[in-house]
Amino acid sequence: MKTIIGVSFHQAGKIYYFDPTGYEDIQRGTQVVVETAKGVELGKVVLPPTEMEDDNIVAPLKEIMRIATDEDIKKSESNKAKADEAYKICLEKIAKHELEMKLVMAEYTLDQKKLLFYFTADGRIDFRELVKDLAAVFRVRIELRQIGVRDETKLIGGVGICGRPLCCHSYLTEFIPVSIKMAKEQNLSLNPTKISGVCGRLMCCLKNEEEAYEELNKTLPSVGNTVSTRDGLRGEVQSVSVLRQRVKVIVTLDNDEKEIREYHVSDLKFKRDSGKDVDFGSVEREGFADDDELGSEIEELEQLEQLEQLEKEDGVADKKQSKKNNKGKNNQGAKQRPGNKKNNKTNGNHSKQSGKQNGKQNFGNKGNKGNKGNGDYKSKGGKNGKKNNGKQ
């Protein structure tokens, strides 16, 4: 176990670990100056000193240089203004060299010894001449990094189709692996425009409820499966409600007429796709109220409201006790069998489903790291850039 401190350099950016020696009492939100692979940078503490397993740490840890001063903060703001100007100049140079690349952002290190440009492109770009021009203009070390479209969206930010700020820009520190299977598990439309985010990739939020849906789907029959009901009917599954654990079945009646009825999964007998048989009641109604109990409670409430109205109209004190006694008798009775057709129909019109979802929402699963540039080009002054192999 080692004591570490977590520092981030962008909003919802990746967390980097440093050695907190000499700064054991530092608080979350404190701005610090640290040295990274890019150079000297200004970051914010997002994880106060805490112990962590050695396997999760890449040794050796660098120490914090100092807590940011007012001068450091002013210099950082000044660097952002200069980076905006550098962004415009770089756009002009890109147009001059007719390069098929999209410039995303420019960034200075705190000590202004390095200027980084982030861009996206469909393939590898030969921008050696561009690096020479930029180095001649800014007289600092130039580095161009190619990033993916998801990283571009994370840096720029935006608003999703839900009307909220993008997850990757607001709280996701690392990207989560997302697949089309997650959309199928949640019965979502497979229309790409419906399940794709601003970046054009599958929405990160598909992962949020994937585990809960995956667990609940294990107890349900598939659409098109043949099932048997408690009331002795057989039919074909028309649709399922995963969260309510309800199934709509097209049943065949005695007169050969077909009718759509809704059942709780515990009232069905069927064979799963895996070949395992599921008998009546093998799926518990945990977290879901029984239809007969709900129907009985609603009837009691309706009777109580009627009695209260009669009491107001009559205003007879001696009848009050007798009406309460009548109410108590009317509320007593045996529980109706779920297999009774009439009872099911009546209770279905008056009952409400409530309960808890059997599953957990996971917002913080381990995800794949954001795509890094496939080529880093560095140059000092007007010298030719030095090509470093990176990850894409």
**Could you report the per-residue pLDDT of 313-353, keeping only the tens digit for each?**
555 444 444 444 444 444 444 444 444 444 444 344 443 34
Residue 40 has pLDDT above 70, yes or no: yes
Between residues 245 and 303, the one the model is more confident about: 245
pLDDT number for residue 289? 41
Q: Where are the beta strands (DSSP E) in 169-255?
A: 226-229, 234-241, 246-252
pLDDT number for residue 279? 56
| Residue 307 structure tokens | 């009695």
Helices (H) and strands (E) in the chain, counts: 10, 16
pLDDT number for residue 107? 93
Query: Is 346 buried (19+), middle (13-18) or exposed (0-12) by CB count in 10 A?
Result: middle
As a whole number of angstroms, the distance between CA 105 and CA 65 comes to: 26
Complete DSSP assignment for 42-70: EEEEEEEEEEE-GGG--SSPPBP-EEPPH
Write down the residue that tokens 């550098």 correspond to: 86
User: Which of 38-52, 249-263, 318-332 is predicted least confidently?
Assistant: 318-332
User: Would you say 383 and 135 are in contact if contact means Cβ atoms under 8 Å apart?
Assistant: yes
**Could you report the per-residue pLDDT of 16-28, keeping only the tens digit for each?**
999 888 888 888 9
pLDDT number for residue 337? 42
Average pLDDT, the chain: 75
pLDDT number for residue 34? 92
Residue 164 has pLDDT above 80, yes or no: yes
As a whole number of angstroms, the distance between CA 392 and CA 281 comes to: 52
**Could you report the per-residue pLDDT of 198-209, keeping only the tens digit for each?**
988 899 989 988
Q: What is the 3-state secondary structure (H, E, C) of 127-173?
A: CHHHHHHHHHHHCCEEEEEECCHHHHHHHHCCECCCCCECHHHHCCC
